[in-house]
Amino acid sequence: MIIKNINEVYQFKISLNNSKPSIWRRIVVPSTYSFWDLHVAIQDSMGWSDCHLHMFELKNPLTNIKVEIGIPDEEYEAFDRKVLADHKEKILKYFNENNSTARYEYDFGDSWIHTIKLEKILPATIGEKYPKCIAGKMACPPEDCGGIGGYYHLLSVLSDPNNEEYTEMIEWLGGEFNPEIFDPKDVSFDDPKERFRQMNED
């Protein structure tokens, strides 16, 4: 979609922790984005399918206290955890040059931990489409493969056709998997408002 009437955009680098070589994406999003909007952009640029829970953690620059931003749930409240609603919190309230990093977790079972780094705040280009992915390296791990440890076990199995797990893994993947393939031109971004509507209908 073409975002109009915005003055600035935020350039972020999203890196999957403990990935070697590093799995990362560089995206540019409107400064008007909420954390839900940013979540959708991260999911789409990384290649995740957004079928699990997520959480941002970063400091509130006004209080210097860490906050959690995601989808509030009664379970959090039972443990006296305050989780701010991501669709209500704007990224410009939290990210700045002095408060430039955040932790982003996707899938609390596999626990894919990402580091979000604000690299630049730039003037928006009139008529440009945002969000956009401008760079990145390495394919996104398959969903539900067991976290970063499970992923590298998967790659080890795939590197050896004689491994007893090889055929099972290929069948589970539905075909071959190349961990090195990524092209930012292939990234397609969903409308975060539509994704939010669909989530609330489920």
| Residue 3: inside a domain | no
Residue 51 belongs to domain with CATH number: 3.10.290.30
Residues 18 and 98 placed together within one structural domain of the fold: yes
Q: What is the pLDDT of residue 141?
A: 98
Residues 102 and 166 placed together within one structural domain of the fold: no
Average pLDDT score over the chain: 94
Cα separation of the two ends of the chain? 24
Does the pLDDT at position 17 exceed 60?
yes
| Residue 72: inside a domain | yes
CB 56 within 8 A of CB 35: yes
With H, G, I as helix, E, B as strand and everything else as coil, classify residue 28.
Answer: strand
Mean local confidence (pLDDT), 17-36: 97
User: Which tens digits make up the pLDDT trace of 79-138?
Assistant: 678 999 999 999 999 999 999 999 999 999 999 999 999 999 999 988 889 999 999 999
pTM: 0.93
Residues 191 and 170 placed together within one structural domain of the fold: no
| 3 pLDDT tier (thresholds 50, 70, 90) | low
Residues 150 and 94 placed together within one structural domain of the fold: no
CB 27 within 8 A of CB 41: yes
Q: What is the pLDDT of residue 2?
A: 46
Residues 19 and 94 placed together within one structural domain of the fold: yes
Tokens 């604000």 — which residue? 118
Q: What is the pLDDT of residue 78?
A: 59
Give me the phi and psi of 35, to 5 degrees please: -70, -30
Mean local confidence (pLDDT), 136-143: 98
Spatial separation of the C-alpha atoms in residues 86 and 102, rounded to whole Å: 14
Residues 71 and 97 placed together within one structural domain of the fold: yes
| Residue 165: inside a domain | yes
Residues 61 and 118 placed together within one structural domain of the fold: yes
Mean local confidence (pLDDT), 4-32: 93
| Residue 132: inside a domain | yes
User: Which tens digits make up the pLDDT trace of 146-165?
Assistant: 999 999 999 999 999 999 99
| Residue 18: inside a domain | yes
* Angle, alpha carbons 36-37-43 (nearest 5°): 90
Residues 87 and 43 placed together within one structural domain of the fold: yes
Residues 189 and 175 placed together within one structural domain of the fold: no
The domain of 150 spans: 142-180
CB 83 within 8 A of CB 35: no
Residues 60 and 152 placed together within one structural domain of the fold: no
Residues 93 and 108 placed together within one structural domain of the fold: yes
Residues 126 and 35 placed together within one structural domain of the fold: yes
| Residue 166: inside a domain | yes
| Residue 81: inside a domain | yes
CB 116 within 8 A of CB 101: yes
Q: What is the pLDDT of residue 81?
A: 82
What is the tally of structural domains in the chain?
2
Q: CB under 8 Å to 40, separation ≥6 — which residues?
A: 50, 189, 190, 192, 195
